[in-house]
Amino acid sequence: MPESGESPGLLRSIALPHTPSRSPRAVTYEQGPATMTFAATKGHFFASATWVMALAGAFAVASMAPARAAPVASVEPEQSDVAQLTPPQPSWFFINRGFTENSSAIYDTVTGKLLGHVETPQLTDLALDPAGKFYYVSSTLWTKASRGTRQDYVSVFDSVDLKLQADIPMPGRLLVGGRLNNFVISPDGKFGYVYNMSPASSVNVIDLVARKFVKTVELPGCASMVAVPGVGVSALCSDGSLATLTLSGAKSQITRSEPFFSATDDPIFDNFQVDRAKNQIVMLSYTGKIYTATLGAKPVISAPFSLQEAAGVPAGSAAPNQVNWYPGGVQQMALHRATGQLYVLMHMGEFWSHKAGANEVWQLDLASHKVVKRMTVPGEPRMIAVTQEAAPHLVFAGEDETVYVYDLATGKQAWKLDHAGNGVITVAQAQ
Amino acid sequence: MIHFDADSLGEKVLRRFAGGTSRRGILARLGTALVAAPLFPVLPVSRANAAPAKPDRGPEAKTTFARGAQVTDNTKCDYWRYCAIDGALCTCCGGGVHTCPPGAEPSPVSWVGTCVNPEDGKSYLIAYRDCCGKSYCNKCNCDNADRETQIYVPQLNNDIIWCFGTQSMEYHCSTAVLVGAA
Amino acid sequence: MMRIARLSLLAATALFSAGLATRLSAAHDGAAAAPAQHVMEDPNQARVDYIENCGGCHGVNGSTVPAQLPELMGRVGWFMCTPDSRAYLLRLPNVAHSRIHDNAELADLMNYVVFVLGGNSVPAGTRPFTAEEVGRERQHALSNASLTAERLRHATAAVKQCHAPQSIKLLYPGYNPATAH
């Protein structure tokens, strides 16, 4: 399997028949720069370019010997054109390129190819239109880069040509990295909800059809949202409950579930997973407790079970000096909805190591509460996602920006993508 | 009418602080900030009221970070005060452990964590104030997490960009300001 | 009276710098006196608790201007004006849901906020928070309300009933939402 997603492209260009028409020396000249230009655009593939030129030279030498009619090289000037995408495919993933880059790269897990970038400046949040027509980016910039007037807005990009459709101004948003649930879209695609902290907590409601900011609603003591169809949003709260902000009526209302977790002693990770089909969320706590909640005006929260016990090891503990397998990272788990398999980044350590990179990925079958597979993984990943294909691909990334793609049917590495990114990974038909 | 009743205070107060010589030492080391704090009205210590329970700090010295922390080099991620720092260290960016680099602005708003000083085994309150208004320094990046929680408890979260009340919220680097004994 | 007050001041300074606590009235700064109050059981712990749980956002000394937060220093005491506004302080989600589970400890913290950070803004005759009061009010956290609207309601009452300055209605004097960052 090719090591890099980009080398197959170069191989193909060499394979095309390209017969010279003039003297061998001219042919060499003709072929040389063309291939050099192609290779030079790929920066770090200069080594490949040298190899390509050697091959081009070989073509030239070979064509000197036989005395046949010389083929005609094309000198038609090319036109510049622009590639287009399709609406996002289930095999794609988007990886935020981290704190210092200003974009999210789009890759296809089937081909390993980089397809393009969505502009996602530092600390912005990407959300996909459920119907696949648009990419939404919840953004903050200042008029003079790091100073000037602050501007907060949701940018709308067409998913086929990645052209900007609109910027929707809004009052503000929380600046924090690595979060999936601060910018969520309603399943019907009509509303976006942006979390703000100024430092008081609130939610900005954005009408994505009219492309207008609607209103701000205070949400004291809560964060990390999920859109609830027909109701509004739910969010995790500091009193250990799940709040529901009802936006469907004339007056906003906040109700809270009974507290079910400790926000300070065993917090539930912000980056819980959403299952649209079941209208559920799957939550994971620092000690490895798994909870599910069925959403609605009155959410129903399950009793938790231990991820570690599901793997046949002792349950995780918040007590000091207890070495165990603990979940950790920034984007700690990925749910494959159709099969109910949860993939969790796990490392050996003690409590309060919840940001550590993983040594293993555990595959938890949610229905049976059993860890059915444990995979040793390279690169100490802190981000994990899984495509929602029938034959899913696992995607994970560590701090060094190497992204690994695994084919879950075979359990083997499909691609190793260098310098791809180390930020949040988004997949289609997910949140 | 005010009166100062040394007798009713004296015995219990002395008993509470007997053997607590480190407290005096801490106050001296922390400088005038604490000692010059406003004098405030207090309850007379009465045996009828049980003293409120103090938080148990025992587990704080037992984390992996606490066991490996050092006190000599504040440009390294294992420096004791950095037990829950997230970001670039201002000490590597032209600033200091409580000093913003030139041109950056300290945020008045931050979160406060607790870290254990290996020299005395005691917990200290550390304000992780970000320096803001300049582009990301991107040197000496650390991401430690002792007692750090999620954003719905913002006062214990270190991923949030703590640049509220500054001219710009552009994040430059993080400091670790000692603000008291825990 | 004054001689005893001065003696107490001296003794208190000495004792405080050794980490001990003494009892004083708010008259120590010479302003119009509130009568002596029994306010905190463990003032050192109250201050530590404040810094650890609140001081990050609200400032080690209760001041964070120009951040968009209610300025506590010299102002928060006005919210002791009515029974409702007292309850408001305890029902704030960050107070009611504090990880300080001991109500006496939380009462100490809130008394530190009101009487020490609030300083002269505490109306004369204000009784300190008790553990019982804290235990009762924290069950009714303001989780379904606009905190902005609630604060304004109680600030308005304090202006009317306790002669608080009009500026108490703002997060801090001179606050302008349009230009604040």
pLDDT tens-digit profile of A165-211?
Answer: 999 999 999 999 999 999 999 999 999 999 999 888 999 999 999 99
Q: What is d(CA C26, CA C42) in angstroms, rounded to the nearest whole number?
A: 17
Indicate if the pLDDT at residue A413 is higher than 70.
Answer: yes
User: How many domains does chain B divide into?
Assistant: 1
In a domain, C174, yes or no: no
CATH code, domain with B67 = 2.60.30.10
Interface of B with A in 24-43 (CB under 8 A): none
Which among A238, A241, A247, A264 is the top mutation candidate for probing chain C, defined by the most C β-carbons within 10 Å of its own β-carbon? A238
Exposed, middle or buried: residue A409 (CB in 10 Å: 0-12, 13-18, 19+)? exposed
Average pLDDT, chain C: 82
CA nearest neighbour of C53 among C11, C95, C23, C84: C95
What amino acid is encoded at A153 in this protein? Y
Same domain, C132 and C84: yes
Average pLDDT, chain A: 87
Q: What is d(CA B84, CA B100) in angstroms, rounded to the nearest whole number?
A: 18
ipTM of the complex: 0.81
The answer to whether B162 is a known catalytic residue is no
Which among B30, B43, B107, B152 is the top mutation candidate for probing chain C, defined by the most C β-carbons within 10 Å of its own β-carbon? B43
Beta strands per DSSP E along chain C: none
Same domain, C88 and C65: yes
Partners of C181 on chain A (C-beta within 8 Å) are 150
Same domain, C148 and C59: yes
In a domain, B16, yes or no: no
pLDDT at B105: 95
C143 and A198 within 8 Å at the Cβ level: the answer is: no
pLDDT at A33: 39
Q: What is the pLDDT of residues C76-117, one digit of tens each?
A: 999 999 999 999 999 999 999 998 999 999 999 999 999 999
C57 and A256 within 8 Å at the Cβ level: the answer is: no
* Structural contact between residues C142 and C92, judged by C-beta atoms closer than 8 angstroms: yes
pLDDT at B2: 34
Share above pLDDT 90 across residues of chain B, in percent, rounded to a whole number: 65
Domain coverage including residue C20: 1-36
Same domain, C85 and C96: yes
* Structural contact between residues B128 and B98, judged by C-beta atoms closer than 8 angstroms: no
C144 and A255 within 8 Å at the Cβ level: the answer is: yes
In a domain, C175, yes or no: no
pLDDT at C29: 37
pLDDT at C181: 61
The answer to whether C24 contacts chain B (CB < 8 Å) is yes
CA nearest neighbour of C103 among C41, C151, C146, C164: C41
pLDDT at A23: 42
pLDDT at C6: 47
C141 and A221 within 8 Å at the Cβ level: the answer is: yes
> Which token pair is B111?
């979160």
Q: What is d(CA B69, CA B83) in angstroms, rounded to the nearest whole number?
A: 8
Indicate if the pLDDT at residue A398 is higher than 50.
Answer: yes
Partners of C96 on chain A (C-beta within 8 Å) are 239
Give whichever of A62-66, A387-391, C11-15 has the largest mean pLDDT.
A387-391
Partners of A179 on chain B (C-beta within 8 Å) are 151, 159
Looking at residue B135, the DSSP 8-state letter turns out to be: -
Q: Which of B80, B130, B146, B162 is catalytic?
A: B130
Indicate if the pLDDT at residue C1 is higher than 60.
Answer: no
Same domain, C80 and C103: yes
Interface A-C: count of C-beta contacts within 8 A: 45
Average pLDDT, chain B: 79
In a domain, C103, yes or no: yes
Nearest CA in chain A to C53: A264
Domain coverage including residue B117: 58-181
Interface of C with A in 27-66 (CB under 8 A): 57
Partners of C54 on chain B (C-beta within 8 Å) are 155
Interface of C with B in 58-97 (CB under 8 A): 59-60, 63-69, 94
In a domain, C13, yes or no: yes
* Structural contact between residues B41 and B73, judged by C-beta atoms closer than 8 angstroms: no
* Structural contact between residues A274 and A262, judged by C-beta atoms closer than 8 angstroms: no
In a domain, B176, yes or no: yes
Neighbours of chain A (3+ CB pairs under 8 A): B, C
pLDDT at A354: 98
Residue appearing with tokens 């010479």 = C30
Q: Which residues pair with A232 in a beta bridge?
A: A228, A246
Domain spanning A121-259 has what CATH number? 2.130.10.10
pLDDT at B41: 53
Nearest CA in chain A to B59: A320
The answer to whether B120 is a known catalytic residue is no
* Structural contact between residues C91 and C135, judged by C-beta atoms closer than 8 angstroms: no
Residues with Cβ within 8 Å of residue B65, at least 6 apart in sequence: A352, B78, B83, B144, B146
B44 and C18 within 8 Å at the Cβ level: the answer is: no
Considering only the beta carbons, identify the residue of A150, A199, A238 that sits closest to C93: A238
Please report which helix (H) or strand (E) contains residue A413, including its range: strand A412-417
Q: What is d(CA A272, CA A284) in angstroms, rounded to the nearest whole number?
A: 7
Same domain, C52 and C103: yes
The CA distance from A376 to the nearest CA of chain B, in Å, is 23
Which among A218, A246, A255, A257 is the top mutation candidate for probing chain C, defined by the most C β-carbons within 10 Å of its own β-carbon? A218
| Lowest mean per-residue pLDDT among A42-51, A173-182, A324-333, B101-110 | A42-51
The residue among A35 and A416 whose pLDDT is bigger is A416
| Lowest mean per-residue pLDDT among A249-253, B54-58, B90-94, C46-50 | B54-58
pLDDT at A249: 83
Indicate if the pLDDT at residue B155 is higher than 60.
Answer: yes
User: How many domains does chain C divide into?
Assistant: 2
Q: What is d(CA A4, CA C111) in angstroms, rounded to the nearest whole number?
A: 63
Considering only the beta carbons, identify the residue of A142, A197, A267 that sits closest to B154: A197
The residue among B174 and A18 whose pLDDT is bigger is B174
Indicate if the pLDDT at residue A35 is higher than 50.
Answer: no
Indicate if the pLDDT at residue B39 is higher than 60.
Answer: no
Which among C3, C60, C129, C172 is the top mutation candidate for probing chain B, defined by the most B β-carbons within 10 Å of its own β-carbon? C60
In a domain, C179, yes or no: no
C93 and A221 within 8 Å at the Cβ level: the answer is: yes
The answer to whether C57 contacts chain B (CB < 8 Å) is yes
Same domain, C77 and C3: no
